[in-house]
Amino acid sequence: LGWKLFWYLTDDAFIAFRYVSNSILGYGYVWNPPPFKPVEGYTSFLWVLVLDVVWRIFGVMPPDSANWISLGFSYLTLALSMIMFYRFDWNPRLKKFRIWFLILFLGAVLANRTFLAWTSSGLETAMFNFFLIYWVYSSFCLNPASRNWMWSISVSTSLVYLTRPDGLLFSAAT
C-alpha cells in the first residue's frame, strides 16, 4: 500500500534506462550511439546490469520493471532485518516480548515515509539498501571464525560497491 502511495519514477532513473536501451540496441553501455565517442555516465553498474538482464530475459523495459525490482529488494531488506532482529542476544526478561518488539520495529519501518518513497523511484536505492543490510548482517551476525563469514563479507562488499561507488567505503571498512 505504501509503495503504491509513494510510487514514482525520478528523472535520474532515465539515465540508467538510456544506457540499458543503447545496450539492447547493440551499442553497449554508452550514452549516445556511434558516431559519437562512448561515454560512461551511470554510477550504478549493477543496477544497469540488472535492468538490462530483466529486459533481455523477460522483455520488460526498465520504466516498467525498475519499481517492481526495487519493491522486491525492499522486501528482501525487511526479511533480512527480521532475521537480524531475531538473532540479537536478547536479555532473558525481554526475550518473551521480542515478537512485540518485532511488530513495533516493522511498524516503524513501514510507516517511514523515506523507506516507502525509496521502494520505488526507478533508482538503485532499494538494491543498495539491501546489499548494505546484507553487509551489516555479514559483519555483525556471522561468526568471523567461520568460512561463511569470509565468503559472505566478500560477496556483500562487492555487491554494495558494484551498486554504487559510495559502497567503496564499506570495502575500506571491511
Mean pLDDT, all residues of the chain: 92
**Confidence (pTM):** 0.91
What would the pLDDT profile of 62-104 be if each residue is shown by its tens digit?
999 999 999 999 999 999 999 998 888 888 999 899 899 999 9
What would the pLDDT profile of 41-64 be if each residue is shown by its tens digit?
888 999 999 999 999 999 999 999
The strand pairing partners of 9, in sequence order, are 121
| Those residues with Cβ within 8 angstroms of residue 57's Cβ, 6 or more apart along the chain or in another chain | none
> Exposed, middle or buried, 49 (CB in 10 Å: 0-12/13-18/19+)?
middle
The strand pairing partners of 121, in sequence order, are 9
Q: What is the pLDDT of residue 51?
A: 98
Contact 66, 13 (CB under 8 A): yes
Taking residues 106-127, report their average pLDDT. 92
Q: What is the pLDDT of residue 62?
A: 97
What would the pLDDT profile of 5-38 be if each residue is shown by its tens digit?
788 888 899 999 999 999 999 999 999 988 998 8
Taking residues 106-129, report their average pLDDT. 92
Taking residues 116-124, report their average pLDDT. 90
SS3 category, 9: strand
